[in-house]
């Protein structure tokens, strides 16, 4: 069985399991879940600073549409 199929089976099981079984599964993995972090502290601080600068207008941001238009313009200009 592949890793992805195991994840799919567990997800499906949890969606339909009774409360006691879900709580038991949670108890088995809760310590690991609490210590797991996607980003380290430095990365979080950088992301928060960027967000704050964006919201205050200190940094220029672009919409998805503007970004795509800029990429197409660049590709058209440089033949890529």
**Average pLDDT of each block of 10 consecutive residues along the chain (80 residues)?**
91 92 88 71 91 92 94 89
Please report the pLDDT score of residue 2 as a whole number.
93
Please report the pLDDT score of residue 69 as a whole number.
96
Please report the pLDDT score of residue 80 as a whole number.
73
Domain residue ranges of the chain, discontinuous segments joined by +? 3-78
Please report the pLDDT score of residue 67 as a whole number.
95
Phi and psi, residue 63, nearest 5°: -75, 165
Where is 25: in which H helix or E strand?
Answer: helix 19-35
Please report the pLDDT score of residue 48 as a whole number.
93
pTM of the model: 0.40
* Cα 29 to Cα 32, 35, 77, distances in angstroms: 5, 10, 53
């Amino acid at each position: 069985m592949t890793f992805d199929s195991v994840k799919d089976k567990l997800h499906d099981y949890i969606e339909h399991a009774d409360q006691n079984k879900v709580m038991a599964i949670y108890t088995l993995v809760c310590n690991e879940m609490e210590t797991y972090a996607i980003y380290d502290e430095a990365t979080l601080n950088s992301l928060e600073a960027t967000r704050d600068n964006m919201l205050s207008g200190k940094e220029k941001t672009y919409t998805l549409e503007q970004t795509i238009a800029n990429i197409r313009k660049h590709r058209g200009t440089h033949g890529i």
